[in-house]
Amino acid sequence: MATSPDLKLRLQAVQAARRVVIKVGTRLLTGVDGFSKDERVAQLVGEIAILRQRGVEVVLVSSGAIGSGMRVLGVERRPAQLPRLQALAAVGQMRLMALYESAARNHGFHCGQVLLCADDVRDRERHLNTAFCLDALLAENVLPIINENDSVSVDEIKFGDNDRLAALVALLARADLTLLLTSVDGLREHDGKVMGDRISLVSGFDARIRAMARDTEDRNSSTGGMTSKLKAAESLAQAGEPTWIADGRDFSVLRRIFDGEDVGTLVWPTGNGRMSSRKRYLAFFSDPTGSVVVDEGAARALTACPGASLLARGVVDCSGSFERGDTVVVVDRVGRELARGVTNYAAGQLRRVKGLHSREINRLIEGGGYDCVIHRNYLVVTDSQESISVTQARSGYDDKATEENRLQGRTGEHGAGCPAGRPQAGDPAKRPQGTLPEGHGRCDYGSG
């Protein structure tokens, strides 16, 4: 049972939600007794139509392509061979979208299909193109329906599960709220043997909360795959965005959520605000090309002091063959990931300056070096997250950037941490990986 403060947070979450991502799994479309898949799709779209009438932009992440293909082709058992699964997905996706489009037309709007592979959101240009596409669909009053592109996906380019896909879509689209619908009424107390009471609000992650979802990936456990949902919710919380996990066997739960009712589990953001576009790309989508090892002092400063830059004197080693302007992972001496960021030094040059103070670097490198290995504006702390990565957060939960700024990551932090008159780096959203504009990396303090 939610307390009065919990209910206040629920109302706050839905009142601030102008753009939401809703994730629906295969079992909610096919595994509810007494209803066909056609009926379930019609029910879901009807509830989405109500949210749209309230002025809420909805992006739907929907599973079910392979299951639909099995029914169309009369396949009773899910095959193990990848080519057959891909073929079933190709057939089933058309059937699934036909159901959604038919249901949407009954409410006066259309659907748009967006099929994604992991590479579509990792690559910066394709990442931005996907975000622009979603914005354009919503501007045309179209319901975007997203699924993994199972017909071409293999292990190397798969998201893994649609909870993770939904979280990444929400991060990319800067959704105000993500709704993960499942077959149970949210997260429940769990002592390792029996399920207890529903947990109404999660406002921080620790071992106890994570343990609540143990052993819930078993298909026979009827707990809704809570492990993957909690990981997705943790990623979103650290980006400054709430997640609501709720029982979707009755799709009217969407109305109940937007009425602020005590249903499911609300996962509240853990940071100080929403993460900038530039930092969320670094934290959740970038593909690091190497790692930088730091000493204990630098590790403490990075994880305990928001706004710290990484200085050369805190670096003890590095690995990989990265260039200046590449994304690297920052790790401690035992290999635990602490942060990700854009490096001012190539690997060979960093090995020369590691452990040195700025004055020593300037004597060593002709023309002077950079005070920061990674400037705080291009560094995201990832220490406490299990799934995708953590972050420093941007202040102002209700802050709304313009569409251009939202996607290109201009956060109004120009010059932060730099001596007066020193130009700040250009936006990574507009420059290719491997390049870094002149003037980046001068800073007045850091971690070391």
Residue 142's DSSP bridge partners are 110
pLDDT tens readout for residues 372-400: 999 999 999 987 544 443 222 222 223 33
Least confident residue range of 102-111, 167-176, 329-338, 405-414? 405-414
pLDDT tens readout for residues 32-42: 888 888 999 99
Residue intervals in the chain for CATH 2.30.130.10: 277-430
Could you say which architecture CATH assigns to the domain 4-267? 3-Layer(aba) Sandwich (3.40)
pLDDT tens readout for residues 89-106: 999 999 999 999 999 999
- Tokens describing residue 157: 């380019």
Share of residues in the chain with pLDDT > 90 (%): 54
Residue intervals in the chain for CATH 3.40.1160.10: 4-267
Give pLDDT, residue 155: 63
Residue 195 pLDDT > 60, yes or no?
A: yes
- The larger pLDDT score, comparing residue 252 to residue 157, is at 252
- Tokens describing residue 138: 């919503």
Question: Which residues have CB under 8 Å from 393's CB, separation 6+?
Answer: 238, 239, 240, 269, 271, 272, 273, 274, 275
pLDDT tens readout for residues 335-378: 999 999 999 999 999 999 999 998 899 888 877 788 899 999 99
Give pLDDT, residue 229: 92
Query: 10 Å Cβ neighbour count for 160?
Result: 13
Nearest to 241, CA basis, from 399, 38, 73: 399
Residue 297 banded pLDDT, cuts 50, 70, 90: very high
Region 400-422: what's the mean pLDDT?
Answer: 30
Region 242-252: what's the mean pLDDT?
Answer: 96
pLDDT tens readout for residues 112-136: 999 998 888 888 899 999 999 999 9
Q: Are the CB atoms for 378 and 425 separated by under 8 Å? A: yes
Nearest to 342, CA basis, from 436, 437, 444: 436
Q: Are the CB atoms for 152 and 117 separated by under 8 Å? A: yes
Query: 10 Å Cβ neighbour count for 110?
Result: 13
Give pLDDT, residue 214: 58
Give pLDDT, residue 226: 86
Could you say which architecture CATH assigns to the domain 277-430? Roll (2.30)
Query: 10 Å Cβ neighbour count for 334?
Result: 7
- The larger pLDDT score, comparing residue 410 to residue 352, is at 352
**CA 19 → CA 143, 194, 249, 431, distances in Å?**
12, 37, 23, 28
* Distance in angstroms (rounded) separating the CA atoms of residues 258 and 48: 11
